[in-house]
Chains A and B, each alone.
Chain A
Amino acid sequence: MKNSFRLLAAALAVAMTMPVMAAQTVNNNFTVSVQLASLCMAKNSGATTLNFGTYTAFQGTAQTPAAPVTLTFDCTRGLAPVSVAVDTTNGTAAGVGVLAGLQYALTASSATTVAGIAASTSTIGTADAVSYSVSGTMPADQAGTCGTATCSASHTRTLIVTY
């Protein structure tokens, strides 16, 4: 026991004789890199209907939908779509189609963009919301194709955005 006290006393004596040293830092830089593949993604695909309502054969005025449909895309911030077209499966790329023997033409508005929130150290941010309003018209004085008193018809069109 007496030897232990002697060893501790010696250690304290050595420690008290060491000079006081300040904390030091050293830098080692490195590179953080990423490759971002920009993208636009349809947000409400298949969820909307452009309803032309009831068209009476040979009616004297053109028929328009009660309300247009709004198609929204989430896009990489700063990525602006350059053009829009419509599928050629059920009509032409310009938006002309035929439904129940009635010709119609679609029109898409210019893009409306709501800027997203940039990412920061506290948030991942949000996308730019790019939306298009699609409406259309059915010319007047069309006969249509229908074997009964009334016929209802619908088909799917696709708005294609190129960016």
Chain B
Amino acid sequence: MAPRRQSIAAAVLAKGTVAALIFANAANAADSAARFEVSVTLRSASQPDPTLCVAGGKAHPLGITAIVKCAPLPSPAAQPDRVVSSVLFYMSRGVWLGTVDETMGLGTVTSWRVVRLANRDYLEMMVGW
């Protein structure tokens, strides 16, 4: 609230009839406030969204064909009803997190284990090809 303006005075004489004095007095700093809302909707990634992607298996001459159906939005590298010969996918609680890699060939699962962590379990598979 410190004074920030200097006083000035001006006298105006209008045709000799009316003299008007206009003073600009020292003014103190003041505030004016405008309120507004800030809003957001948080979607928790840990909650499965059944509309994202569904993966399934289907017999194929060269092995197993994975079918990934995504609706309404495809996962980053997949398309709705897309059929690929082999896939590398990573899912967590039904939510598609990984990407499809069509360049992988067939392999053999040599071992697997379930790793239990404090907040989630995951399946680790060793594949040889």
Interface residues of chain A, those whose CB is within 8 Å of chain B, are 27, 29-59, 63, 69, 71-73, 81-82, 87, 90, 97, 99-102, 104, 106, 134, 136, 138, 144-146, 148-163
Q: Is the CB of A57 within 8 A of B45?
A: yes
Binds A, one of B24-32, B57-65, B79-87, B121-129: B24-32
Q: Is the CB of B41 within 8 A of A161?
A: no
* Complex contacts, B46 vs chain A, CB 8 Å: 57
Partner of B32, one of A40, A54, A57, A149: A40
Q: Is the CB of A136 within 8 A of B43?
A: no
Q: How many angstroms between the C-alpha atoms of A157 and B16 in the bound complex?
A: 54
Interface residues of chain B, those whose CB is within 8 Å of chain A, are 4, 16-25, 27, 29-47
Q: Is the CB of A57 within 8 A of B40?
A: no
Q: How many angstroms between the C-alpha atoms of A73 and B42 in the bound complex?
A: 32
Min CB distance B30 to A, Å, is 6
Q: Is the CB of B32 within 8 A of A42?
A: yes
* Complex contacts, A33 vs chain B, CB 8 Å: 20-23
Min CB distance B10 to A, Å, is 12
* Complex contacts, A160 vs chain B, CB 8 Å: 31-33
Q: Is the CB of B44 within 8 A of A30?
A: no
Q: Is the CB of A54 within 8 A of B41?
A: yes
Known: A31-B21, A163-B32. A100 touches B38 (CB 8 A): no
Min CB distance A87 to B, Å, is 8
Partner of B43, one of A46, A54, A104, A134: A54
* Complex contacts, A54 vs chain B, CB 8 Å: 40-43
Closest to A136 in B: B38
